[in-house]
Amino acid sequence: MLSFVGLGLYDEKSITVRGVEVIRGADFVFLENYTSKLGGAGIEKLEKYYGKDIEILQREDVEVNPDKVLEAAKEREVVILVAGDSMSATTHVDLRLRANALGIETKIIHGTSSITAACGLTGLQNYRFGKSTTIPFEPEDKLPDSIYQTIRENRERGLHTLVYLDIKVEQDRYMKGNEAAEKLMEIGEDCMGIVIARAGSQKPHVVTGRLKELVKMDFGEPLHLMIIPGDLHHIEMEALESFTEMHL
């Protein structure tokens, strides 16, 4: 059995009860450590809370050569831990397909994700989001045109854009909301943006403002996420005014 367990958004307690049960019943536990991280818990906290030794997997261990994981899962109970929801990244779908091709049973234990957290913390309605995009660290000067195009096309349709911010776990480097705002200035400095910091923690920080204001701000510790809103329903606007820090 190969189980994919979502850890939730912030720390060792963000996981579901079912997720904890599956981990504690496993023979081997691996942590995928390159697509995201938990801002409030390192591997030591996870091992102590779940009562299991955890081996870290890098990109090549999942995408290129997952033989260690698959061989173990042929005979034993194996768990892969993923920050957020366990199937948010297509690399994990690929690994599940590989396991299936070998006759290995798979199971998914979902966790809270940045997608649902973004809607919950801002009050924006899920069905009013269009295609999402990601802002990379490189190139430093100008983003690929496809990113601007995605946002513009969503806005033309009145839809919100969920913008993921680049992370490089191996370098301990995480893009901040003000850096993302700077890179998006080409779509208009007066364009509205929403920065979400530390979703899933006890004190998330959510700020709504023009890009020209967001670039000046410090949103604190990672992880950060951004939304570029489209047309706002009056209830969505009321939610932003009520539940986020406004700089308009």
Q: Mind listing the pLDDT tens digit for each residue in 159-174?
A: 999 999 999 988 889 9
Q: Are residues 132 and 66 in the same domain?
A: no
| Domain's final residue, options 109, 139, 162 | 109
pLDDT at 140: 80
State the average pLDDT over residues 214-240: 97
**Cα gap 160→238, rounded to integer Å:** 16
- Please name the residue ranges forming H helices in the chain: 17-24, 43-50, 59, 67-75, 90-101, 114-122, 145-156, 177-183, 211-214, 234-243
pLDDT at 161: 98
Residue 21 banded pLDDT, cuts 50, 70, 90? very high
| Domain's final residue, options 109, 141, 166 | 109
**pTM of the shown model:** 0.92
Give the CATH number of the domain where residue 120 resides: 3.30.950.10
Residue 240 banded pLDDT, cuts 50, 70, 90? very high
Q: Mind listing the pLDDT tens digit for each residue in 116-145?
A: 999 999 999 999 999 999 999 998 878 999
Give the CATH number of the domain where residue 91 resides: 3.40.1010.10
| Domain's final residue, options 109, 132, 157 | 109
Q: Are residues 123 and 65 in the same domain?
A: no
Over the chain, what is the mean pLDDT? 95
- Quote the domain boundaries for residue 239: 114-247
Total count of domains within the chain: 2
Q: Are residues 235 and 131 in the same domain?
A: yes
Q: Are residues 131 and 240 in the same domain?
A: yes
Q: Are residues 75 and 140 in the same domain?
A: no
Query: Could you tell me which residues come within 8 angstroms of residue 122 by beta carbon, excluding any fewer than 6 positions away?
Result: 194, 196, 206, 208, 227, 236, 239, 240, 243, 244
pLDDT at 64 over 90: no
Q: Mind listing the pLDDT tens digit for each residue in 190-204?
A: 999 999 999 999 999
